[in-house]
Amino acid sequence: MVAAPKRIIVGVTGASGFDYAVCLLRMLHEQEVEIHLVVSRAAMTAMAHETDMTFGQMKALADHCHDNRDIAAPIASGSFRTMGMIVAPCSAKSLAEIAMGTGGTLVARAADVVLKERRRLVVLFRETPLHLGHCHNMLRLTEMGGIVMPPVPAFYPKPKTIEEMVAYTGARVLDLFDIDVEIEGRWKAYQARE
| Per-residue pLDDT reduced to its tens digit, 94-110 | 999 999 999 899 999 99
Q: For residue 1, what pLDDT is reported?
A: 66
Q: For residue 46, what pLDDT is reported?
A: 92
Mean pLDDT of all residues in the chain? 94
Phi then psi for residue 143, to 5 deg, are -65, -30
Q: Helix, strand, coil % (nearest 5) of the chain?
A: 40, 15, 45
Please give the single-letter amino acid code of residue 119.
R
Over residues 29-46, the mean pLDDT reads 96
Please say if the pLDDT value at position 192 is more than 60. Answer: no
Please say if the pLDDT value at position 187 is more than 90. Answer: no
Residue 78 is assigned to a structural domain of this protein = yes
Alpha carbons 73 and 82: distance in angstroms, whole number? 14
Please give the single-letter amino acid code of residue 185.
G
Cα dihedral sign, 167-134-38-19: negative
pLDDT tens-place string over residues 142-180: 999 999 999 999 998 899 999 999 999 999 999 999 999
Over residues 30-54, the mean pLDDT reads 95
Alpha carbons 172 and 176: distance in angstroms, whole number? 7
Alpha carbons 165 and 139: distance in angstroms, whole number? 26
Provide the number of structural domains found in the chain.
Answer: 1
Q: For residue 3, what pLDDT is reported?
A: 72
Please say if the pLDDT value at position 83 is more than 90. Answer: yes
Whichever domain contains 100, its CATH number is 3.40.50.1950
Closest alpha carbon to 3 in 181, 178, 189, 194 = 178
Q: For residue 185, what pLDDT is reported?
A: 78
Q: Which domain holds residue 51?
A: 12-175
Q: For residue 149, what pLDDT is reported?
A: 98
Alpha carbons 71 and 82: distance in angstroms, whole number? 17
Residue 97 is assigned to a structural domain of this protein = yes
Share of the chain above pLDDT 70, in %: 96
